[in-house]
Amino acid sequence: MTQPLYTLDAVLAATQGHAETIDAKAIGSISIDSRELGQDALFVAIKGDRFDGHDFVDTALANGAVAALVSEGRSSGPGRIVVPDALEGLCDLARFARKRSRGFIVGVTGSVGKTTTKEALRLVFEAAGKTHASIKSFNNHWGVPLMLARMPEDTQFGVFEMGMNAPDEIRPLSKLVRPHVALITAIAPAHLERLGSLEAIAYAKAEIFEGLEPGGIAVLNADHPQIDILREAAAAAGVRTVITYGYARGVDWQITDFQNAADRSFATLVHGEDRHALALGVAGRHMVANAAAAFIVAQLAGVEAATALRALASFGAQPGRGQRLSLGPAETPLLVIDESYNANTASMAAALSVFSEITPAGRKVLVLGDMLELGEASKHMHASLAEAVQATGADAVFLVGPDMTALAEALTGAMPVSHFAHAEDVVQPLVDALAYGDAVMIKGSNGVGLARVVDAIRSRFDQN
C-alpha cells in the first residue's frame, strides 16, 4: 500500500485546524483546483486574482476530495478543515513537509531560464533517486507552498522554482523552502516596469540567499554585469560558499567549445583539471548554460557525473520555451519553434541567435510579440532587436502588440514586416503565409497570447 502524503491528524496538527465530520484518515494529494483532484485529495480553498476557491468547495467534495481546507467564516459543513486563513494553512503544510524532509533541496530563480533549468535538474535527479519538483511555473506565493506541501516524506531530491514581480516576494518563498543550494540563472530586463533597473532586479533575486540552510551554497551564472551584486548579497546573507559558472573566464565552472548541430548542442564544462562533455537534445548557448547549472548542482548533491551527463543527453526544450515541432510530411515538414511563454531582451537575443542558424527548405518566418513589463525602456528595447532580427535572414516578420511598433519602425525597409494589434489578428494571415518546408519561430511574453498562434499552426499543419 502506498504511504499517504499525510495522515489527517498530521494535517490538523500542522495547520491547527478544526475538522468538521471527516471520515478519511489519510490525505493522498493536495489540490487548489476542484477540476483536478488526485487520489484522496485535500482541496485547499485559496483566493486567487480571478477565482475564490471557497466558491468551489462543494464541487471539490462532490468530485472526490476527502476534505477541504477553508478559511474561517467562509465555508461550513461536513468535510471541512477550518483554519484562520486557507493560504496560510497551505503554508503550514509546506513547513511541515519541509521539516520532515531529509532530501537535498534546491531553490531556483533568475530572470530567464529558471523553468528550463528546473526541468534539467528534475531530469538529472530522477536518474539518481526519488525526485519532487515544481510543475509548470508554480513559482509564486501560492505555487511554491503548494509544491512544497505536495512533497512526499521519502523524497531524495527536491527542486523548487521561485519567481517574483517585485521586491520582497522571493524572500518568504526561500524561507519556506529552506534550500541547500540557491541557484540564480541570470539577471535580465524582466519586470523593469516595477523594479526600475537591472540592479534592483539583482537585489530582488538575491533574496533567495536569505532562506538558505546553514552551510548552504549559492550557484551563480556569471555571464551578466550584476554578478558582483549577487556576490555581495550572498556574503551579506552569510553565505560562505559561492560557485560561479558560465562562458566568462575566471568562473569556477567554465563552458567552452560550444557548438550547435541542427537541434542539438555540445560543449565542454571545465572545472579545474576536470573536463565534462555536455551533449543536449536542444540547440542554443542559453540551453547549454541551463544544463551546465543542473550538472553543477547535481555534483553538489552527490550525483555521479556519468549519471548526470546521460540524463542531460535527453534534455529537450519545454512547450513555450523553445520546443521544436515538425508538422506534416517527414520529407518537407513545417518546423515550428515554440517560444511563446516568455520574452525579454536576453531571451529574445538567445532565441533569435538559434533561429539564425536554421536553413529550411522553404522560407523563414518570425512571429514576435511584445516584451511586457519593461516600463519606460520598452520602446528602446523593442527597437534594439532590429539588428538581431535582420541577422536571422527571415523572409517575413509578423509583429504583435503595441510595443512592437518600435521594432516595426526600426525594420521599415529592411525586410517584409506586418504588424498586428492582437494575437488573434495575426492567426489567419500567418497560417495563410506558411507552407510545408518553412521554419517559423513564435516568441513573446505570455500575456500577449501567442500560444494560441502555435495552436492554430498545429491545427492547420499537423497531419497526425
User: 108 CB contacts (<8 Å, ≥6 apart)?
Assistant: 114, 117, 118, 121, 159, 160, 161, 162, 183, 185
User: Domain 6-84: which topology?
Assistant: 3.40.1390
β-strand pairing of 67-71 with 41-44:
parallel
110 is in an annotated binding site: yes
Helix (H, G, I), strand (E, B) or coil at 385: coil
Residue owning grid cell 484562520: 84
Cα distance between residue 56 and residue 34, in whole Å? 6
What homologous superfamily does CATH list for 101-312? Mur-like, catalytic domain (3.40.1190.10)
Gap between the Cα atoms of 104 and 131, Å rounded:
9
Please check if 59 is assigned to a binding site: no
For residue 212, the 8-state DSSP code is: P
Residue 49 exposure: Cα atoms within 13 Å on the Cβ side: 3
CA torsion, ordered 347, 348, 352, 353, to nearest 10 deg: -40
Alpha-carbon distance 122 to 117, whole Å?
A: 9
Cell numbers standing for residue 240: 560562505
Question: Is 398 in contact with 408 (CB distance < 8 Å)?
Answer: no
Describe the chain by its helix, strand, coil percentages, rounded to 5.
40, 25, 40
Nearest to 399 by CA among 372, 357, 366, 428: 366
Gyration radius from the chain CA atoms:
23
Count of Cβ atoms closer than 10 Å to residue 151 Cβ: 22
Query: Would you tell me how many other CB atoms lie within 10 Å of the CB of residue 358?
Result: 18
The CA-atom distances, in angstroms, between 19 and each of 1, 8, 22, 74 are 25, 9, 7, 15
- Residue 111 annotated as lining a ligand binding site: yes
Any residues with CB less than 8 A from the CB of 458 and at least 6 apart, and which? 325, 327, 336
The structural architecture, per CATH, of the domain 323-461 is: Alpha-Beta Complex (3.90)
The reply, when asked if residue 116 is annotated as ligand binding, is yes
Q: In which residue ranges of the chain is CATH 3.40.1390.10 found?
A: 6-84
Ordered mean pLDDT values, 10 residues apiece, the chain (464 residues): 86 94 91 92 91 94 95 92 97 98 98 93 98 92 96 98 94 98 93 86 97 98 97 97 97 96 91 96 92 98 97 89 92 95 90 93 96 91 96 96 96 92 96 97 95 95 80
Q: Is 281 annotated as contributing to ligand binding?
A: no
Tell me, what's the pLDDT at 235? 97
166 CB-side CA count, 13 A: 2
Is the CA virtual torsion 402, 407, 412, 416 positive or negative? negative
* 8 Å CB contact between 192 and 377: yes
Domain with CATH 3.90.190.20 in the chain: 323-461
Whether the Cβ atoms of residue 123 and residue 314 lie closer than 8 Å to each other: yes
CB atoms within 10 A of CB 55: 13
> Can you read off the three cell numbers belonging to residue 141?
506565493
The answer to whether the beta carbons of residues 112 and 185 sit under 8 Å apart is: yes
CB 47 within 8 A of CB 53: yes
Cα separation, 278 vs 269, in Å, equals 7
CB 125 within 8 A of CB 301: yes
Please report the DSSP string for 176-203 in residue order.
HH--SEEEE----SSSHHHH-SHHHHHH
Q: What are phi and psi of 238, to 5 degrees?
A: 85, 15
444 is in an annotated binding site: no
Burial 325-339 (b: 16+ CB within 10 A, else e): bebbeeeebbbbbbb
The answer to whether 114 is annotated as binding is yes
**b or e along 20-34 (b: 16 or more beta carbons within 10 Å of the residue's beta carbon)?**
bebebebbbbbbbeb
pTM value is: 0.89
Q: Which residues pair with 201 in a beta bridge?
A: none
Angle between helical axes of 305-312 and 285-300 (0-180°, round to 10)? 150
pLDDT of residue 50: 84
Instruction: Give residue 298's Cα distance to chain centre.
Output: 18
Full DSSP string of 252-281: SEEEEEEEEETTEEEEEEEETTEEEEEEES
CATH 3.40.1190.10 in the chain is located at 101-312
